Each structure stands twice: as C-alpha cells, then as structure tokens.
C-alpha cells in the first residue's frame, strides 16, 4: 500500500472507514450513537499523541476540539478546520475498503464478491482518475469518505505540521463533530469556545469543489390516523391512511422531486412512507436555494394538509414541519474574503475551483449562521452515501496541499 506524499494518510482513512459510526435520526442523545462517542475518544487519543494542545470533547455538543499553536510571533487570524465523524443512512457495518492502485481509467471495477461494479457507463467520473489509486467499497456497505476523508486529511495535516516546524503558521483550531448526516450535529456548536476567526468544513466531493451556497432545508413529518374497518362494510366508514398519504403526495408538483430537478431547482423529497390502513407516516425533505421559494414550498404543504383535513371532516393529518438549515450564501455576505482565500490557494496549486450552488448542506451552513463564516472544501468522495462510493488517494493528498497553501497564505504579511 503506497502512501508516500503524506505518510499515514491512506492508512488513517482506511482505519477510520472501518469504524461503524452511522448516526441515528431517532435518537435524542448527543451524539445520536454511542459508536460516535467511542470513535471521537479514539481520535482524541490520536490527537494527544500527535502533540496537539487543549484536546477535549465539548460537554454539550460532543465536538472533539484541539489546537495547533501558532509558531510565528505576529498576530494572524485563527483558522478553523472542521469535519464530521458520522456516516449516512446506508449499511455501515463491516466496511471493508478495497484499494485499486494505478487505475486505468477505462475498466469497470468489481466491488468485492458482491456482484456490484463501478461501471464506466454508469459512473463516467471514473475516467478522470486514470493512473490514480482509488479506494472503493466491497459492494455491501458505504465507504464513509463522507466525511472520514475529511477527518483523515485534517489529522494528516496536523501530523505534517508537527513534523515540519519550518512551515510558519498561525493558530489552527480543529473540530471533529457528530451527527452531520442527520442535520443536528452543528446545532449546539460553540463558536466562542472554538476560538476561530473563520473556518472551513472539509466535507465536499471531487477535486476543486468550493461551496459557498447551499439549500435552505426543512423536514416535514406527517402522521395520518386512519379508521380500519372490515372491507365488507367499509363504504363511507373506512379511512385508509395509506390512501390519504398517496392523495397527499399526488397533490405535490410531479416535477418537484430530486430525480427530476437540477442546478437551482428545489424539490420535495418523500424519503420515508410507512403505514397500514389504521396509521401512516410520511417524511419529506423540502429544499430550495431561494428563501422566498423555500417559504412558499412549506406553505404549500401546509395548505395541502389543511385541505385534506377539511375534506375528511376532521383533523386526521398532523404535520410537524421544522427548518434544518439555511443557505450558506446569505450568511457569508461580508465574508467573501474567506472564500477568496480558498480560491487563491487552489489556483496557486493549479487546481480549478469549482464554485456552484451545492444541492445539499453542510455543518458550515449552521455554523455560519451562528457567526463563524464557514464555506466547504472538497474532501474527495464520489457517489457518497452508497455502495458505489469511492475516493482517490491523490485527491485526498491535494486536499491536504490546499489546506497547507491556505495556512501559508493566511500567515503572509
């Protein structure tokens, strides 16, 4: 296993990927899973052994925090680097990463003995990785590059700076947090305690991604109470909760779905639908980059629920609708220099910045609204949240390159 540019990066990533840390959206604890707590403690030991200072787990938000002290005398703005340790709602048990060295950029890649493949036809992005080392799944789990690639890159950066004191830099704050995938991890982030002047989440996808705009996001939880009676005497008596749920879904715009939208088009995403005649439950994700359209989407769903209840003659449908995060772009107004620093670092390294409105969100959205400007940088993952996830080792190395360049630019007089 070759890993010459930044010793330990590949090994770190594989070790982290094998640890099961999927967050739990049904949990009320912080973190949502004790597996996240155990992993954060493991990482705390590693950071302490690397010689970082003030290594601790925050008692309220469970972020693992650490400081790389400045090694120059003059004042330099404090940079923060953030990543999350949890993985998404896909099988994450017994992750078994596969290393494909010197990939030819043309061949399909079998994913272990699972019968699944990364095919060029389905995933043409593979073509740009000719000659590189890829890490894939074995086809039975996700990989967890979202965001253990970011975790590995930040810790490898810390190790590299400790080994190379000749690299002059200001103070750097590290924060590794839980529960990003369920949208709650940054809700209680303590900006004052973190102590940075600006920050970046290392949680993006392919090489060059620099994200300064996200969706506005809300979640809608809908419970429908039916009336289950014998089908033989159901006329004018039965209320089929499943059918009511179908009727509700059919009143939403047919094209406003993730699979039918792109770029700046928002959507309603029905991602859970469970039920019987007696009771049904639907969960929607509501997304839009435009705040006015976002608010209109929420009101449209409320109106559908009101109308259906009126038609039923009683309130059989309950709606719990709440916001999750807001568009990062709005919170970064007046802090464009933070984005420009990352952009210049990439350009200086010959990496073309890919700045676009991301169709998702990051902890940086929430943290920016808490007062710490935090755009998002690439970590390298492709096809995230799935068995087809993979990451290029060379892209991970370039992520560390960019962080080093940003640190150097930040320290310039």
Residues designated catalytic:
86, 180
Q: What secondary structure letter does DSSP report for 295?
A: H
Separation CA 176–CA 201 (nearest Å): 10
| Beta-ladder partners of 80 | 173, 199
Segments in 5-54 forming alpha helices (H): 9-17, 34-49
Separation CA 124–CA 138 (nearest Å): 19
Q: What secondary structure letter does DSSP report for 174?
A: E
Separation CA 23–CA 44 (nearest Å): 19
Only one residue has tokens 């992993």, namely 39
Taking the C-alpha atoms of 285, 289, 291 and 295 in order, what is their torsion angle to the nearest 10 degrees? -30
Q: Tell me the CA end-to-end span of the chain in Å, nearest whole number.
A: 40
| Beta-ladder partners of 275 | 280
314 contacts: CB under 8 Å, gap ≥ 6: none
């Amino acid at each position: 296993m070759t890993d010459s540019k930044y010793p330990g990066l590949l090994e770190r990533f594989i070790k982290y990927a094998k640890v099961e840390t999927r967050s739990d959206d049904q949990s009320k604890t912080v973190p949502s899973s004790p597996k996240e707590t155990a992993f954060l403690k493991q990482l705390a030991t590693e950071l302490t052994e690397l010689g970082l200072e003030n290594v601790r787990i925050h008692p309220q938000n469970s972020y693992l925090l650490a400081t790389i002290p400045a090694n120059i005398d003059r004042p330099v703005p404090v940079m923060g680097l953030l990543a999350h340790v949890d993985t998404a709602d896909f099988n994450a048990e017994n992750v078994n990463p596969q290393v494909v060295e010197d990939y030819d950029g043309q061949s399909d890649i079998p994913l272990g003995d699972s019968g699944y493949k990364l095919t060029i036809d389905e995933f043409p992005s593979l073509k740009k990785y000719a000659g590189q080392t890829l890490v894939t799944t074995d086809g039975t789990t996700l990989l967890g590059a979202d965001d253990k690639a970011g975790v590995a890159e930040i810790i490898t950066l810390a190790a590299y700076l400790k080994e190379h004191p000749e690299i002059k830099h200001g103070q750097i704050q590290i924060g590794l947090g839980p529960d990003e995938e369920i949208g709650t991890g940054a809700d209680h982030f303590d900006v004052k305690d973190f102590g940075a002047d600006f920050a970046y989440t290392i949680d993006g996808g392919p090489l060059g991604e620099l994200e300064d705009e996200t969706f506005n996001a809300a979640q809608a939880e809908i419970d429908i109470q039916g009336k289950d009676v014998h089908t033989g005497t159901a006329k004018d008596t039965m209320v089929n909760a499943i059918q009511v749920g179908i009727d509700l879904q059919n009143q939403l715009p047919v094209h406003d779905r993730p699979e039918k939208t792109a770029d700046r088009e928002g959507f309603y995403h029905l991602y859970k639908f469970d039920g019987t005649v007696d009771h049904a439950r639907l969960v929607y994700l509501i997304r839009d980059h435009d705040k006015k359209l976002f608010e209109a989407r929420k009101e449209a769903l409320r109106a559908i629920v009101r109308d259906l209840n009126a038609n039923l003659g009683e309130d059989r449908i309950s709606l719990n609708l709440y916001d999750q995060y807001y568009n990062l772009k709005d919170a970064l107004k007046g802090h464009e220099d933070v984005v420009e620093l990352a952009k210049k670092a990439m350009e200086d390294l010959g990496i073309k910045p890919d700045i676009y409105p991301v169709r998702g969100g990051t902890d940086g959205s929430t943290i920016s609204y808490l007062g710490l400007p935090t755009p998002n940088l690439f970590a390298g993952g492709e096809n995230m949240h799935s068995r087809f996830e993979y990451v290029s080792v060379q892209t991970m190395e370039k992520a560390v390159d960019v962080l080093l360049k940003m640190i150097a630019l930040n320290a310039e007089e």
